[in-house]
Amino acid sequence: MNMMIGAAGQHFARYSTIYAVLGFGLGLGLGSIFSFAGLLEAGLEVIVGAYGNVTPLVIFCILAPSLLRICQQEGTDGRQFSIYTVFWFAKLRLVACLLAVALVSLVYTLPLFGGGSVENAAFITPFRSLGQTLVRSPYFFAIYASIIAVLLLWRRRGWFVRTFAQLPEFVEKLGEVFTFVVPVFTLLVGIHVVTLPQVLEAHFAAYPNSTFGKVTLFGASFDTTTAGGILQVYLMLSLLTGLICSIWHTALLLYVRYKLPGLSIRAYFTQYFLKIYPLLWATSSEALSTPLNMHLLKELYPNIDPAVRRFSVGIGSIININGTLTCCFVMIPAVCMMLGLPISVLSLLFCLPIIYILGFGVPGIPGELVLFAGPIMIVLMVPELLQSAFLLTFLGLQIGLPDSFRTGANSTDDGPASLLLNEVYQRRFQSTQADATHLEDLHMSGS
């Protein structure tokens, strides 16, 4: 039985991309034949609710033991490395946000000024929302619990501590079976693509006195007063999210290649990227794909210190979500144009603080941009009459294909990040330097 399951797992892992495409095509077909609007919305609520309950536990099971191992490892300064990692991800996030603002402004040909009624509240809202997140978010609770557990256990030894430190290895094992669910989730994405225009068109009918503008993307204008126009905009937003995320990931990978000249780009794509991306794209969940992510990095780059790999992937799945932040910036101008609201480069820059800060507390689940919609609406000073339409349009457009593309960028970024952080860890935070061949083996593994 175990041999059959193992063989099936290898088969699905090898052909996961094909199964993902087939599932998506089947979803498009079923969505065109049957009406899934009510059923799909109810199903998404159940899935998001389940992920929201499980994700904090997954975060704790990965983050706490990984941080404990780093702190207990002799000859290292684990606490300093942990602080360095968090700030490194924070700086990386700021660069990603600025790049997204620049590219989005070009694609939409936004004016520099004239974004409308954005007031000083834009500077206050991010910090107020952050304070609420710090004391209410279960994902921050998981981080707090991880820190407390490390403080209680890092000087202790014994069977319980050893077992606790092995938790990430059990989570990694789950990664071998997650490839089976890829076609199921791509099928749901396909159904959503077909169903969304019907939902939004019916909702817009409730605002007959509002001026719904046209969306201009890549120099082309799209009429969003019809279901066909909404579908076109939805597909364009999805492609734009994927394009900007690809530009960002390529730039990050080229930087890793510059720092680690012997790194094989071919091995990275064939043995890591193409194996993890279908699951990310299908499930839109960083948390669900974290075990497979750690497993693939372990197989391709065995010389990355296990504690570094687990910590960088574990904390990265929470705070290294540059694809999600990019998707926010992509959605804002489109939603504003659809509702006839003014939008400019300055408006996006006013939204940057709230997007940057709230990004530290998102759960890593499908539809996680729901956490950004309300605060962004407040920053943009959306009129009360259009607030309901703004929320539904923003939330509806970001589910499905955009969700898939931004998740793919979020978690695959953890691969290059782990390589860079491991090099820093060995060079700056280990008192005993590794052999001269250690980094060379890391560079060339998979070549």
> Which has the closest alpha carbon to 201: 8, 393, 58, 402?
393
Angstrom distance (rounded) from CA 392 to CA 372? 13
Topology (CATH) of 2-444 = Proton glutamate symport protein (1.10.3860)
Angstrom distance (rounded) from CA 98 to CA 120? 21
Per-residue H/E/C for 305-370:
CHHHHHHHHHHHHHHCCHHHHHHHHHHHHHHHHHCCCCCCHHHHHHHHHHHHHHHHHCCCCCCCCH
DSSP letter for each residue of 232-259: HHHHHHHHHHHHHHHHHHHHHHHHHHHH
> Which has the closest alpha carbon to 394: 346, 323, 325, 339?
339
Instruction: Give the predicted TM-score (pTM) of the model.
Output: 0.69
| Tokens matching residue 168 | 């990430």
Query: DSSP H helical segments within 359-431, as ranges?
Result: 370-379, 387-398, 401-412, 414-428
Contact between 396 and 189 (Cβ < 8 Å): no
Taken as a whole, the chain contains a residue count of: 447
CB-neighbour burial class of residue 139 (10 A; exposed 0-12, middle 13-18, buried 19+) = buried
Task: Give pLDDT tens digits along the chain (447 positions).
Answer: 455 555 665 566 556 667 767 877 888 888 788 776 666 556 545 554 555 566 677 768 766 776 776 666 544 566 678 888 888 988 999 999 999 999 999 999 999 876 444 444 444 444 555 566 567 667 667 778 888 988 888 778 788 888 887 776 665 555 555 556 667 767 776 777 777 777 666 666 655 555 566 888 888 888 777 767 778 888 899 999 999 999 999 999 999 999 998 889 999 999 899 888 887 877 777 766 778 888 889 889 998 888 888 888 877 777 788 998 999 999 999 999 888 888 889 889 988 987 887 776 565 555 667 778 777 887 888 887 777 778 777 877 887 788 888 888 888 999 999 999 998 888 887 654 444 334 344 444 444
Angstrom distance (rounded) from CA 317 to CA 181? 20
User: Taking the CA of residue 231 as centre, how many other CA atoms within 13 Å lie in the half-sphere pointing to its CB?
Assistant: 14
128 contact partners, CB below 8 Å, separation of at least 6: none
> Which has the closest alpha carbon to 375: 148, 196, 131?
131
